[in-house]
Structure 1
Amino acid sequence: MVLYGYDASVYNSVQGSDNWMAWFNEPDDAAIGSVNTAYTVGAIFGGFFLGGPVSDYLGRKVAMAIGCILVIIATFMQTFSPYHSLACFLAGRCIIGIGQGLALTAGPIYIGELAPAEIRGKIMTFWQMFYSVGSFICFWIAYACTKRVDQLGEWDWKLIVIFQLLVPVIILILLPTIPGSPRWFIQHGNRIEKARSALRRVRETEEEVEEELLMIREALEYEKEAISSNYSALWKDKSLRKRMLLALVINAGQQLTGQGSLNTYSTKIYQLVFTEESQISLINALNATFGILFTLNAVWIVDRFGRKPLLIVGAIGMGICMIIAAAVETETPTLASGAKSEPVGISIVFLLFLFILFYKPSWGATVWIWTAEVFSMNVRAQAVGMASQTQNVANTIFQQFFPIFIDNDGFYAFYLFAGINFLLALFVWFFIPETKKVSLEEIDALFGGANHVTQGEEVLAHKKAAQIEHGSHDKEGTINVENAELH
């Protein structure tokens, strides 16, 4: 998630550099939008079409590794793009998007499959928090570079880009040291011992390990017997179809709250209020710093109050912040320098920071938590990949025209975000069920589906009875039922 936070913030950071603009021949608003669109299109392709199959067939850890390797390759493409060749930079952003699509599909699935149900929300909150850590690193590097523009020259933006290498390299070093997914081990080859070994590293007692192994086997047995494991199951099964549609809406909604635009174009937004590049970079860096602290609020909220209340309160709070920020900017005079007065500028920054306070623990962290936990094992990789990349579908559509929107209408655009947030609060109230502390294997019952553990227990019981009935007799004439036993 640090990787995602850094990569998503890089383009925002370099847009404020005069050297970056000059290196790529002063791109207009449409060209700037296209570079961002290339990133999201790559992420959509990676998440929708590659993330699920790669995570399913090669494993969660391998998918994360491939994503990191693509990011490393693309970082060099961007950093050393030829003079006036925006196409090479654009291609690099697209490849980074593909890498992110792979990694962001595998990441939450992996965490959800290893985390105990009672603290799954807390762990996913920390995962989401590290998006802000990535932004924090990126924006503070950018701020430091704005203070040394004369000495750095074109490297004032190249340094920001090349630091994208740091996190994927660390991830590639760490991946061999962490356990695999026990659910993936059982689903692929019924490798019970490998699954048991993985669970022993993240559970306190042997009893917990054996109990969870049995639940996983029961759920998978039912899914193998009764449900398809390909993409078609997401649309043929009524319960899965309902979950998929809900997940698509809230993931698209996450980006339409206004956060997607603030994260990608905050430099352009603040240029309507402030004139100094270093001042804008400092605000972005402080925003990312506070984002870390704000996300931590979800650690003690999400498993105590639940996912649904958090999403509703967050959406209403963000909507109110957008209305007030728009009113403050549009109803106050602009100075001769093109900036706003200092009190107005401080007020707008405060309101946008308050927006982040509402966003981070709710639509920032909780959407990821809910999406990663509502799908059954047979379709989890495909579903999470498709649902999470709906964020990038929404971004691709909206961010292509947002730079033009903000240039023409300024802060009036924020009234649109306010309306979207209020609609999202209503949607959650009427349609999103609570998933707090429900085990992954039993969550289907919440959506009108069968309890996979209960059904799987019956399937295994029938198989065991059949094996006993047809079991072969050994030399003493006893029935050999070794293969029927549940270890």
Structure 2
Amino acid sequence: MGFRPTQKRVYNWYISLVAASCMVLYGYDASVFNAVQGSKHWVAYFNKPNSQTIGSINTAYAVGAIVAGFFMGGPIADYFGRRVGMATGSVLVIIATIVQTFSPRDNIGCFIGGRVIIGLGQGIALTAGPIYIGELAPQEIRGTIMSFWQMFYSVGSFIAYWVNFACSKHTAKLGEWDWKMVVIFQLLVPVLILSQVFFIPETPRWYIQHGNRIEDARNSLYKVRDTDQEVEDEILAIREAIEFEKEAISSGYSALWKDKSVRKRMYIALILNAGQQITGQGTLNSYSTIIYKKVFTNASQIALINALNATFGILFTMNATWTVDRFGRKFLLIVGGVGMAICMLIVATVETQTPTPDGAKTHPVGIAIVFLMFLFAFFYKPSWGATIWIWTSEVFSMNIRAQAVGMASQTQNVANLIVQQFFPTFLDNCGFYAFYMFAGINVLLAAFVWFFVPETKKISLEEIDTLFGGTNHVEKGAEIVGAEDPHHARLESVHIDEEGKAVTTHVHKV
């Protein structure tokens, strides 16, 4: 027994990180367009697009992601499996990357079309990925493993910005490939996902929901649980929950609004996911290059700042791995909201109340603004970055999880679609006064969490409904399937007694 638990825990991490790689797609893409805006070759290639067109390019991605997240991601993950959802999204990202890289000169419409396709791919992949992790991770470390979901967003940004920085140092030699290289590098991660995803197990919840495939579910769990009792207990809990949901609750999109407790958590999830993007982080991801142009004049310097920000983003997100299951989701969201509000308030004040000689801020002011942006990321990454995904992936019951996670997570892009369309113009007209708005929003978000968001740490997925005034699906399901103990499966073992007779022993976990 010595190495077996460690071995299985390592494998649990491995399959979770394969799924979390879907978030690298998102992080890379959210950063890649921001990065290429600093390329003079990209600007010339597409005939100097104005701020409205720049906003439309980001909007195109958001539209694709919203359509996929609301109407495609859930059904694909539900009917074909979580692995197929991740694979489908990866294939679409590959197609979109090729379309964007080789768009004809002056044809911004083709580039925008690629952005729509990449949005579709990510909307599908980002629905399946967190569900997969949530359904296979042990509940005591579910939050810790899910924190890597957001960290991999930072990994995507890290790759994009460092590739961009390297290309920005060789623009004369690369020519138009100084931006095409940054775009085409996005092929790396979806290819890696496709090479791994069908060699990892499907989730036991999906197996039982589709054809009551108990043995397949059992084989899946044996790969990631340490004892037979843990496997049988979890299968029993899943069966009980699914049986109750079949009899008492409908599935599909209509179920999101019929049950009062589901409706309540749906409202909260929509607000939290929209809130994630209007903290100011979504805007920084897409427009930090043009924001920093108001402070710095050197394009390579701006590329380096973006790359360093992405690097520190990985380190900052890792704070969630040791805090989210220790202090809880609610604590992190409140502290993060207050911290981000203070950073936005100070950065707006510093920029707007200091002189701008020769069209740029002085070196000390520039350093202060960059420091505050990094401090903002320090508060954002483990809280409204990582924790929102954790909370969203664990609060919905099996029968509506895929649809709910898809819709809630893509509310991020609904908020992005609105904010990113008007922000370039807002920044042109108001400058850093725009950041006072983000400060106010973050205060309101922290207050919302304080009053309306319940704590979910270390609660099993099948029993989380009780937090929102719903029925305990495990206990009600136990009555339907006739289980003696709703929480512990009965294992039977056969041994030979002293007289040579076969004796069956029933064992309960205590």
TM range (shorter): over 0.9
Match of 1:40 among 56, 59, 62: 62
The residue aligned with 1:242 is: 264
Structure 1 residues 284-433: aligned runs within 5 Å: 284-336=306-358, 338-433=359-454
Q: Counterpart of 1:99?
A: 121
> Is 1:150 the equivalent of 2:180?
no
Aligned-partner Cα distance in 1 for 2:98–2:130: 27
Select the residue among 453, 459, 484 that pairs with 2:474: 453
Match of 2:106 among 76, 81, 84: 84
Q: Secondary structure of 1:26's partner?
A: coil
Structure 2: distance between partners of 1:397 and 1:111: 30
Structure 1 residue 380, shift from structure 2 partner: 0.2
Deviates more, 1:454-463 or 1:204-213: 454-463
Aligned to 1:60: 82
Out of 19, 26, 31, which is 2:48 matched to? 26
DSSP 3-state at the match of 1:354 = helix
| CA distances 1:22-63 after superposition (whole Å, capped 9, x unpaired) | 000000000000000000110001100100001100110001
**Separation in 1 of the partners of 2:227 and 2:368?**
53
1:402-448 Cα distance to aligned partner (Å, 9 max, x none):
00001111100000000000000110000000001000000000000
The Cα offsets for residues 433-470 of structure 1, whole Å up to 9 and x where unpaired, read as 0001000000000000000000000111199xxxxxxx
Taking the aligned partners of 1:335 and 1:171, their CA distance within structure 2 comes to 49
Q: Distance in 2 between matches of 1:273 and 1:345?
A: 6
Deviation at residue 160 of structure 1 after TM alignment: 0.3
What TM-score does the superposition give when structure 2 sets the normalisation length? 0.90
Shift of residue 177, structure 1, vs aligned partner: 1.4
Cross-structure match for 1:188: 210
Paired position in structure 2 for 1:210:
232
CA distance in 2, matches of 1:395, 1:324: 24
Pick which of 197-206 and 312-321 moved more. 197-206
- Could you say which residue in structure 2 is the equivalent of 1:139? 161
CA distance in 1, matches of 2:106, 2:155: 32
Residue 164 of structure 1, aligned match among 179, 186, 208? 186
CA distance in structure 1 between the aligned counterparts of 2:315 and 2:97, rounded to whole angstroms: 29
Verify: 1:267 aligned to 2:279, yes or no.
Answer: no
Mapped pair 1:72 → 2:111: no
Q: Secondary structure at the match of 1:273?
A: coil
Write the distance in 2 (CA, Å) between the matches of 1:117 and 1:100.
Answer: 26
Q: Deviation above 3 Å: which 4+ runs of structure 1?
A: none
Q: CA deviation at 1:128?
A: 1.2
Q: Which amino acid aligns with 2:379?
A: F
User: Which letter maps to 2:451?
Assistant: F
Partner in structure 1 of residue 142 of structure 2: 120
Q: Deviations over 1:247-267 (max 9, x none)?
A: 000000000000000000000
Q: Distance in 1 between matches of 2:284 and 2:252?
A: 36
1:278 maps to: 300
Letter of the 1:350 partner, please give it.
F
Residue 434 of structure 1, aligned match among 436, 455, 471: 455
Tell me the residue number matched to 2:496. Answer: none
Number of residue-to-residue matches in the alignment: 462
CA deviation string 1:356-402 (max 9, x = no partner): 00000000000000000000000000000000000000000110010
Q: Which residue identity is paired with 1:39? A: Y
Separation in 2 of the partners of 1:316 and 1:43? 29
TM-superposed CA distance for 1:3, in Å, is 1.4
Name the CA distance, whole Å, in 1 between partners of 2:73 and 2:66.
10
Unaligned runs of 5+ in 2: 1-22, 485-510
Secondary structure at 2:374 match in 1: helix
1-structure distance, mates of 2:228, 2:291: 55
Instruction: Give 1:190's aligned amino acid.
Output: N
1:282, distance to aligned residue in structure 2 (A) = 0.1
In 2: Cα distance, 1:106 partner to 1:243 partner: 19
AA of the residue aligned to 1:25: N
Take 1:226 and 1:443, find their aligned partners in 2: how far apart are those partners?
Answer: 16
* TM-score where L is the length of structure 1: 0.94
CA offsets per residue over residues 263-304 of structure 1, 9 Å max, x none?
A: 000001000000000000000000000000000001110000
RMSD of the TM alignment (CA)?
0.8
What SS does the corresponding residue of 2:263 show, helix, strand or coil? helix
Q: CA deviation at 1:169?
A: 0.3
CA distance in 2, matches of 1:444, 1:406: 43
Offset at residue 129 of structure 1 (A): 0.4
Task: Return closer, same or farther for 1:118/1:462 CA change in 2, 3 Å cut-off.
Answer: closer
Query: In the aligned structure 1, how far is the partner of 2:345 from the partner of 2:150?
Result: 26
Give the distance between the partners of 2:90 and 2:483, measured in 1 at CA: 45
Deviations 1:6-26 (A, max 9, x none): 111110010000000000000
From 220, 223, 230, the counterpart of 2:242: 220
C-alpha distance in 2 between matches for 1:462 and 1:243: 29
